[in-house]
């Protein structure tokens, strides 16, 4: 049995789409998988069970990337074709079953919509597979010294979604303080290579002997393996936040000019903490659609720290009950 899985260019959406991929991989053991996606998202699919081929689809003029994809997959029979980008490709390929996402439904979370698409309720939680080499590398980066691990994603792909560095620093200090829920925890800071400079105030606020950083210096699946070791992830709405939620560990995502009802961390222990202003109010009051201003200033530190304390208390209570 063969599956063609066409998914997003963007990392966050690609992570959410693993809900669908997980369903087919677990429902049909041994299924052979071909994934087609954008170059940024491609690395997260490298360890998918049964992966035969990973096709990167950098955008080309006049839809040339779709023509190139068709040529590369048209001469094989597909038992299942999943197209989460809503193109016509699935209908011009030889196959048995076609699952095509027609567009986004703004009445529900994106993962819930994907669950409806494949007829599964509740929708499977997203999951990112890793290989032993990624887990081994993560152990080298984060040797176990018995301390808790706080992972922080202080950046995002748009400055409007970025909580100010000084607020991250204050929240981290409160969480790591004596008597705090993550007292004296080690801290791993993560982001893209071009995001490190903006994150420098957060990095500098953490004692050197308690911090580690990965800003594009490791494979994304190594980052995923590091996230699996986290006691908590705290970060802006981003692809890394969705990766963190896919570990099943406690995850706090910070929201302002993006809709948490569509993109909150989708897991039992994922929580969205949004600005006091609604999405609509933020958009109405920004200076322009092309604004390069921070739009997260109505999210106070106290709100984030309080939500984190409650999440960790609930998580630890259930862990204790389950032995």
Report the DSSP beta bridge partners of residue 187: 150, 211
Residues 143, 75, single domain; the answer is no
Q: Is residue 123 part of a domain?
A: no
Q: What is the pLDDT of residue 45?
A: 98
The residue to which tokens 């949004």 are assigned: 274
- Taken in order 236, 242, 247, 249, is the CA torsion positive or negative? positive
C-alpha to C-alpha distance for 81 and 3, rounded to whole angstroms:
6
Q: What is the pLDDT of residue 289?
A: 81
Q: Is residue 129 part of a domain?
A: no
Residues 7, 78, single domain; the answer is yes
Instruction: State the CATH number of the domain containing residue 47.
Output: 3.40.50.2000
Q: Is residue 125 part of a domain?
A: no
Q: What is the pLDDT of residue 103?
A: 87
Q: What is the pLDDT of residue 258?
A: 96
Regarding pTM above 0.95, the answer is yes
Q: What is the pLDDT of residue 105?
A: 87
Q: Is residue 106 part of a domain?
A: yes
User: Among 84, 118, 152, where does a domain finish?
Assistant: 118
Q: Is residue 78 part of a domain?
A: yes
Q: Is residue 150 part of a domain?
A: yes
Q: What is the pLDDT of residue 261?
A: 97
Q: Is residue 285 part of a domain?
A: yes
How far lies 257's CA from each of 11, 12, 126, 271, in Å?
Answer: 18, 16, 23, 17
Residues 196, 270, single domain; the answer is yes
Residues 146, 284, single domain; the answer is yes
Closest listed residue to residue 148, CA positions, set 217, 264, 272, 250: 250
Q: What is the pLDDT of residue 61?
A: 86
Q: What is the pLDDT of residue 115?
A: 98
Distance, first Cα to last Cα, the chain: 40
User: Among 118, 146, 171, where does a domain finish?
Assistant: 118
Residues 103, 140, single domain; the answer is no
Number of domains in the chain: 2
Residues 141, 86, single domain; the answer is no
Residues 150, 246, single domain; the answer is yes
User: Among 118, 144, 165, where does a domain finish?
Assistant: 118
Q: What is the mean pLDDT of each run of 10 residues along the chain (323 residues)?
A: 97 98 98 97 98 94 89 96 94 96 91 97 97 98 97 95 98 98 98 95 97 97 98 98 98 97 98 98 89 93 98 97 87
What is the domain extent for residue 7?
2-118
C-alpha to C-alpha distance for 217 and 219, rounded to whole angstroms:
7
Neighbours of 197 (CB within 10 A): 9
Q: Is residue 191 part of a domain?
A: yes
Residues 179, 291, single domain; the answer is yes
Residues 83, 227, single domain; the answer is no
Residues 102, 209, single domain; the answer is no
Quick check: helix, strand or coil at residue 196?
helix
Residues 225, 292, single domain; the answer is yes
Residues 141, 80, single domain; the answer is no
């Amino acid at each position: 049995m063969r599956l063609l899985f066409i998914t997003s260019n963007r990392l966050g959406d690609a992570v959410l789409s693993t809900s669908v991929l997980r369903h087919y991989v677990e429902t049909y053991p041994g299924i052979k998988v071909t994934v087609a996606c954008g170059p940024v998202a491609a690395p997260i699919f490298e360890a998918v069970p049964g992966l035969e081929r990973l096709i990167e689809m950098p955008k080309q003029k006049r839809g040339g990337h779709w023509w190139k994809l068709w040529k590369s997959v048209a001469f094989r029979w597909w038992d299942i074709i999943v197209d989460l980008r809503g193109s016509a490709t699935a209908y011009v390929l030889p196959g048995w079953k076609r699952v095509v996402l027609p567009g986004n439904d703004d009445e529900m979370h994106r993962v819930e919509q994907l669950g409806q698409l494949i007829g599964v309720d509740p929708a499977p939680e997203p999951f990112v597979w890793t290989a032993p080499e990624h887990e081994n590398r993560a152990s080298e980066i984060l040797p176990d010294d018995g301390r808790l691990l706080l992972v922080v994603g202080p950046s995002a792909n748009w400055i409007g979604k970025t909580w100010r560095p000084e607020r991250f620093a204050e929240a981290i200090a409160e969480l790591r303080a004596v008597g705090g829920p993550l007292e004296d925890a080690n801290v791993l800071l993560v982001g893209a290579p071009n995001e490190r400079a903006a994150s420098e105030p957060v990095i500098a606020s953490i004692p050197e002997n308690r911090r580690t950083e990965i800003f594009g210096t490791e494979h994304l699946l190594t980052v995923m393996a590091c996230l699996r070791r986290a006691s908590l992830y705290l970060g802006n709405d981003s692809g890394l936040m969705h990766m963190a939620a896919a570990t099943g560990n406690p995850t706090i995502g910070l929201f302002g000019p993006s809709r948490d009802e569509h993109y909150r961390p989708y897991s039992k222990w994922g929580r969205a903490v949004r600005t006091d202003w609604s999405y609509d109010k933020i958009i109405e009051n920004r200076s322009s659609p092309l604004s390069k201003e921070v739009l997260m200033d109505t999210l106070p530190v106290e709100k984030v720290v309080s939500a984190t304390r409650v999440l960790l208390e609930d998580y630890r209570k259930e862990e204790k009950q389950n032995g």
